[in-house]
Structure 1
Amino acid sequence: MRTVGNDLVRHQLHENRKWYLGLGILLTIFGVVLLAALPFATLSVVFIFGVLMMIGGLLHFVAAFKIFEGGFRWLWALFGLLYLVAGYYAFSTPVKTAIILTNILAIILIIAGVIRVLSALVFRAIQGWGWTLFSGLLTLITGVIILMSPDAPFWVLGLFLAVDILFQGINYLTLASYIRREVPKSSADQ
């Protein structure tokens, strides 16, 4: 019985390989294009943020009036209004939004770096603590550089998006290659 299940999985992997390959190529090209146009990529991040905030606002309103009753209803409605305002702000002032989001990102990186450095120092008796220290210092320095760089809001968010999309594309290409090379075809494919 187990062979039938394995055959089905292998068949599905081989059948979908072309989709993984196509998606990998598309995402890799898109990631490279975004790397070449970081201000555009950053603007895309701001608009995606705006759309997500507005969707969140609408969902909070739906929850407020369809799920909750009493005081909680108005609290959820208030959250919905705040989400909508944040989404509108992102669309109406994309440069200011990029500056705010970049500064928040830098502060989070600094805090995460400090926590990693302190964790490494606390756990220095454990093997590998040096890598945690290195990671913490790198994260801390990255946050400081972003916070100190006056032009960071025009490229940092776009860089994060572009690198993420590029690596997703590479992941799909690697998966498609692995399936072709390593996964034996099922008896249905032969």
Structure 2
Amino acid sequence: MRTVGNDIVRHQLHENRKWYLSLGVLLTLFGVFLLLSLPFATLSVIFIFGVLMMIGGVLHFIAAFKIFSGGFRWFWALFGLLYLAAGYYAFTTPVKTAIVLTNILAVVLIIAGVIRMFNALLFRVMQGWGWTFLSGLLTFIAGVVILISPDAPFWVLGLFLAVDILFQGINYLSFASYIKHQLPKSSADE
């Protein structure tokens, strides 16, 4: 038994399916393009990082002088300055920024892998602990490989961006297909 609310949602999803399909195709193509040009994708990540840091710096300055008063104001202003400096550094030295960010990512992966493996060993009595251990081991190995690869800063960050965009595109394509094949049309569509 269908309700009017479900019919409206189904109708709206079917009406917007072409948009999901179009967005899926565009994101998938863009993801493949980025996979084929990882240095460009990495450079894009660095510039996005720089822009976000600059925006963060401006917002910290606004907060420092519009929201806070007294001694806290200067802490926020200092954070704003640090954010602006990081953004400026990213724009003026993108290769060095890629190296720094890639090394930070590698260290975080190594630490996360060790913690995950340690947790798995602590919970050996629970079913599935081996999968958690394997996940931690693979994360640890990925971090080590990234850290010891001399050319990693030129492809790792771009790979993360490309894979994310590619999977977002595939997600939208799957959703559009689900709407078409699995979700029955509302009585308003028929």
TM-score normalized with structure 2 length? 0.98
Distance 1:92 1:8 in 2: 52
- Equivalences for 1:170-185 in 2 at 5 Å? 170-185=170-185
Aligned to 2:100: 100
Aligned to 1:13: 13
Distance 1:7 1:69 in 2: 53
Aligned to 2:76: 76
Aligned to 1:50: 50
Aligned to 1:144: 144
- Equivalences for 1:124-163 in 2 at 5 Å? 124-163=124-163
CA RMSD in angstroms comes to: 0.8
Runs of 4+ in 1 over 2 A off after TM superposition: none
Instruction: Show structure 2 runs of 5+ residues with no match.
Output: none
Please tell me the residue identity of whatever aligns with 1:186. S
Aligned to 1:38: 38
Please tell me the residue identity of whatever aligns with 2:31. G
> What are the Cα deviations for residues 51-100 of structure 1, in whole angstroms up to 9, with x where unaligned?
00001111111111111111111111110110000000000000000000
Q: How many residues align?
A: 189
Distance 1:177 1:31 in 2: 19
TM-score normalized with structure 1 length? 0.98
Identity %: 81
How far residue 126 of structure 1 moved from its aligned partner, in angstroms, is 0.3
Distance 2:39 2:121 in 1: 38
Distance 1:11 1:69 in 2: 52
Aligned to 1:188: 188
How far residue 189 of structure 1 moved from its aligned partner, in angstroms, is 1.6
Matched residue SS, 2:3: helix
Distance 2:180 2:122 in 1: 46
Distance 1:7 1:94 in 2: 51
